[in-house]
């Protein structure tokens, strides 16, 4: 199954444990999202990131727990992010952490794509319920 919709996101800087050296800038941020559409949910999580001295090259990892409803089924699940940008070209992987889903979403697996168009955030979520 596949659902698509819009989401609102707020990222806020947090204190970091590690500091970058040799031009690498390490960061940590909180993530708060509100998903609209067939995925009607809120999420909270954390992101770790690095900006390199080379413009357009960076990376991030994140974990967020999504709580709400998906196609009318209620529960929660955890998304894991892995993003890399090399010279302006990016690759992003968002997957449901196996066995993280609860309630009517137990057994959920899937992957999410994120699009940003004219400043608005959109998701495309391909999933299966066991």
Tell me the pTM. Answer: 0.94
Of all residues in the chain, the percent with pLDDT exceeding 70 is 100
Contact assessment for residue 1 and residue 71, using Cβ atoms and an 8 Å cutoff:
yes
Q: Is the pLDDT of residue 88 over 90?
A: no
Mean pLDDT calculated for residue range 70-87: 97
Domains of the chain, first to last: 2-129 (2.40.350.10)
């Amino acid at each position: 199954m596949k659902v698509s919709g819009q989401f609102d996101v707020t990222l806020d800087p947090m204190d970091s444990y590690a500091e970058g050296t040799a031009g690498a800038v390490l960061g940590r941020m909180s993530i708060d999202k509100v998903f609209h559409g067939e995925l009607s949910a809120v999420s909270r999580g954390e992101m770790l990131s690095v900006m390199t001295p080379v413009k357009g090259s960076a990376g991030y990892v994140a974990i967020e727990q999504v709580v709400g409803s998906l196609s009318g089924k209620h529960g929660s699940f955890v998304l894991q992010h892995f993003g890399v940008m090399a010279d302006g070209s990016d690759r992003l992987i968002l997957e449901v952490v196996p066995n993280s889903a609860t309630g009517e979403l137990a057994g959920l697996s899937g992957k999410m794509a994120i699009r940003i168009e004219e400043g608005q955030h959109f998701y495309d979520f391909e999933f299966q319920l066991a």
